[in-house]
Amino acid sequence: MLSILNLDISNKILLIRSDLNVPLDIKGNITSDIRIRLSLPTIKYALEKKAKIIIASHLGRPTEGIYNPLFSLKKIAIYLEKILKHKVILKKKYLNGCNFEKNEIFLLENVRFNIGEKSNSKKLSKQYASLCDIFVMDAFATSHRMHSSTYGIINFAKQSCAGLLLINEIKNLNKFLKNPEKPIISIVGGSKISTKFNVLKKLSKLSHKVIVGGGIANTLLSLNNDIGHSLYEPNSILLAQEIIKKCKNIILPIDCIVSTSVTNNSLIKNKNVNNILKNEKILDIGYKTINIIKCELQKAKTILWNGPIGVFELKNFRKGTEIIIKAIIHSNAFSIVGGGDTLAAVELFNAFNQISYISTGGGAFLKYIEENKLPVISILENIS
């Protein structure tokens, strides 16, 4: 892909498509700034080169055509201004152009407020393209989506290129896919086996062992065990059967932390998976399983992790996640971690700087592993 580093951007108007889709609390305050921090190198490089900067991003899933303050980028603009130590103006009306008066940065209001964004409207794509001299795609986490601000604009911009984050994402994912040190251990958690069925099959072929947790593990366990009231997908039993049949290197929990409630004050028990009562829920992996996983991770040369293993947000059900993170950072393996909930777990245990590579992508992360291509990456690779 053509890089921003390969272009003369001085005094040019750049439209940088970043991924500033960060989690907010009920008061609209940022609870995790990882995606913002990882977006900064491209913005700072553009500042150093005296470019005129417009930043675009989405936030959440608002209804197109309706302004909703809950999904406004106002708090993001304030945060960017503070961290960059540079004037950042939130621009609400921008489709007819942005007039630079001083050395300010414009942050466009949530692109998903615009009608046609998600349907890749040609009209909207042209409007985005008209704002800039150079379009810089730097939002890896949205590069699997053919939206106007990520894909459509590339067809009409005078010049398009990849930002530093996007290039770094592809470089590190290719390191895992094309030239990994072996043995490889993959860890896949999350609630739904249906959304990770294809990537589980791909990782099973690539990896020495695939460790599963969360609702995915529960669905697989339900084939031969009573899992009580645990989260699982009853409609994905056929998929689960196929995974068990075809993926012989999957490690399932042999014991679990269970409870009849999901609170910080819940009474918990460590039980073998064949001994769970009707009113109990699996909420974390058990101590025997933790020891098995630790041993596997100690042998690994490459580790990939996507998706939480238990209900790590609550202290009673985070031991499995904590031990996995500690095992990863104390290993000698190249480690790559991706997915919003997984990043939250990494941040919870202050491991951000101890993972080899943190990916901003969730769906894009999995899609690239599964197919080794993404729509936005493909179109950027064809630009000279």
Query: How many angstroms separate the CA atoms of 307 and 190, rounded?
Result: 5
Catalytic residue among 116, 288, 294, 363: 363
Contact assessment for residue 193 and residue 172, using Cβ atoms and an 8 Å cutoff = no
Q: Is 189 a catalytic residue?
A: no
Q: Is 315 a catalytic residue?
A: no
Sign of the CA dihedral with 169 first, then 170, 171, and 176 last: positive
How far is the CA of 176 from the CAs of 43, 182, 196, 207, in angstroms? 27, 10, 18, 10
Catalytic residue among 12, 35, 145, 196: 35
Query: How many angstroms separate the CA atoms of 315 and 327, rounded?
Result: 19
Instruction: Identify residue 372 by its one-letter amino acid code.
Output: N
Catalytic residue among 44, 49, 175, 192: 192
Q: Is 318 a catalytic residue?
A: no
Q: Is 145 a catalytic residue?
A: no
- Phi, psi dihedral angles at 52 (to 5 degrees): -95, 125
Q: Which two tokens stand for residue 249?
A: 């290197």
Query: How many angstroms separate the CA atoms of 102 and 198, rounded?
Result: 50
269-272: strand order across its sheet: 269-272, 255-259, 281-285
Could you list the beta-strand ranges (E) of 119-221. Answer: 134-137, 160-162, 184-188, 209-212
Catalytic residue among 340, 361, 362, 367: 340
As annotated, the active-site residues are: 35, 192, 340, 363
